Structure 1
């Protein structure tokens, strides 16, 4: 599930499975459908 979060005056969308954050809700939902529930393998 994607959760909207306010930070630094912007809305961010966080993947609840791995914690990766996106500034675009569509990107977050696309990631979520492919997420393997592990920590991201790259730096955010």
Structure 2
């Protein structure tokens, strides 16, 4: 499930599985469908 949070006067969409933030809800939902709930792959 994607949650919303307010930071720097903007709404961000957060993946509940890994905590990654997105500025577009569609992108967050797409990410969450494939999220394995480990560290984001860009950190590997």
TM superposition score normalised by structure 1: 0.89
Stretches of structure 1 that go unaligned for 5 or more consecutive residues are none
Stretches of structure 2 that go unaligned for 5 or more consecutive residues are none
* Aligned twin of 2:28: 28
* Aligned twin of 1:2: 2
Q: 1 or 2, which has the higher helix percentage?
A: 2
The number of equivalent residue pairs is 43
Q: Which runs of 4+ in 1 moved over 3 A?
A: none
Task: Determine helix, strand or coil for the equivalent of 2:4.
Answer: strand
